[in-house]
Amino acid sequence: MTSKDDLYVILEVDRTASVNDIKRAFRKLARRYHPDINPGDRYAEDRFKRITEAYEILSDPMKREFYDVNGFYTDGVLEPNRQETSWRFSFQGFNFSRSTDVDFSEIFSQARRPERRDPQRGQDLEHPISISFEESIRGRTARVSVARMDACGTCNGTGQAPGSRESVCPECLGIGKTTRTKGHLQFAVTCGDCGGTGRSVTPCRDCGGEGRRSRTELLDVNLPPGVASGSRVRVPGKGNAGRYGGPAGDLYVVVTVAEHPFFKRIGDNIQCTIPLTVTEAALGTKIEVPTIDGPAMVRIPPGTQTGQILRMRGQGTPSLLNPGMRGDQYVQVKVMVPRVADERSKQILRELAKLNPQDPRSNLW
């Protein structure tokens, strides 16, 4: 972990988040960026590693406390002795080991949590939207209202009062560390006033030094043809603004498509069911079938059976993964057997049975 990585930002949680909040955030992000879900995506792989590292530290109370005070954590700074109740600490400049009853958490709690002013990328945002089946096929431009953190116009996102200059931090005198004493022990901890930078700035009065302010923005989002339920349309730079001049996150519009009474979509393909009369199925014919582009003719071969599927090439939805390509439409046949009531119809069916004496159950056993 580098000093510029804020573990709370990586897990998208507040610094006051509970262990359960941290666990829920980790599970959510791990599902989104897991390498098995994003094969070959180096950005997702890197994000997953950083999320895992952040969780391993923030989910451990001792590691988290050390990180909150010092702004960093590396393996080895806290090592419980296996044979006695003692702790080894490794700070910059000295190492020591001492068996003691000193409550180290009391020492650490005296230091304020560091507020680092390194540029930090803004969080990504999600915004749900519901569209009709037809809109998912044709695409549309949707106007959405998004509540987001925008860069402060007064300080241009830096968090520093316009016209002011950085000065030496009066708390640590520019060192970035302050000393805490407990008995015979001294601890160097990250300065809580400057976050370890050694510099002090005058905060912007409009944003309180954060470099961003809350606002609601209307955005026109282009939903391309072929979007499906669960599609995440990315709008770059329209997530929360970064802190202290950092880049903004992205907005992801999450699509939900209403079901259609006749068509069923599976991937880029369309499925539907068409009824046929016994005569049409037995003799074959040409029928008109609805498609997303309008009616189209389909040839029904003689002897078509219930459940048989006919393929209509290129009549599916536009493909998001392969621009310019379309899926297919699959037509499942359902033969409708008439209810025979009159004697003449019954006689014709008996004659038909004599002319075609095959037994459909002959191969069952």
Name every residue whose Cβ is closer than 8 Å to that of residue 365 and which is 6 or more positions away in sequence: none
pLDDT in tens, 136-168: 999 999 999 999 999 988 988 888 889 888 788
SS3 sequence, 53-103? HHHHHHCCHHHHHHHHHHCCCCCCCEEECCCCCEEEEEECCEEEEEECCCC
For 115-182, where are the E strands, in sequence order? 125-131, 140-151, 167-168, 177-182
C-alpha to C-alpha distance for 103 and 180, rounded to whole angstroms: 13
Q: What's the confidence (pLDDT) of residue 235?
A: 96
pLDDT at 91: 43
Average pLDDT in the chain: 83
Lowest mean pLDDT among 137-146, 235-244, 272-281, 303-312: 235-244
The pLDDT of residue 83 is: 34
Helix (H, G, I), strand (E, B) or coil at 140: strand
C-alpha atoms less than 13 angstroms from C-alpha of 282 in its C-beta half-sphere? 7
Most confident of 53-62, 80-89, 315-324: 315-324
Closest CA to 305 of 332, 340, 339: 332
How do residues 179-236 score in pLDDT, each as one tens digit? 777 666 667 788 877 777 777 888 888 888 888 889 999 999 999 999 999 999 999 9
Q: Cα–Cα distance between 263 and 255 in angstroms, integer?
A: 18
Residue corresponding to tokens 């915004």: 127
Other C-beta atoms lying within 10 Å of the C-beta of residue 22? 20
- Domains along the chain with CATH numbers: 121-152+210-259 (2.60.260.20), 264-355 (2.60.260.20)
HSE (side-chain half, CA atoms, 13 Å) at 32: 16
Asked if 310 and 287 count as a contact pair (C-beta separation under 8 A), the reply is no
Q: What is the pLDDT of residue 361?
A: 80
At residue 110, does pLDDT exceed 50? no
Region for residue 234 given its phi and psi (left: phi exceeds 0; alpha: psi -120 to 50; beta: otherwise): beta
Model confidence over 65-75: pLDDT tens digits? 888 877 777 66
Mean pLDDT for the stretch of residues 57-79: 76
pLDDT band at 243 (very low <50, low <70, confident <90, very high): confident
Tell me the H-state helices in the chain.
7-11, 19-33, 42-58, 61-70, 104-109, 133-138, 278-283, 343-355
Average pLDDT value for residue range 88-94: 43
Per-residue pLDDT at 307: 96
**Please, what's the b/e burial string for 47-71 (b: 16 or more CB within 10 A of its CB; e: otherwise)?**
bbebbeebbebbeeeebbbbbbbbb
The rounded distance, in Å, linking the Cα atoms of 21 and 361 is: 62
pLDDT of residue 113 exceeding 60: no
Cβ neighbours, 10 Å, residue 177? 17
- Nearest 5°: phi and psi at 311? -105, 130
For 305-321, what is the mean pLDDT?
95
Which pLDDT does position 210 carry in this prediction? 81
Q: What is the pLDDT at residue 185?
A: 64
| pTM more than 0.85 | no
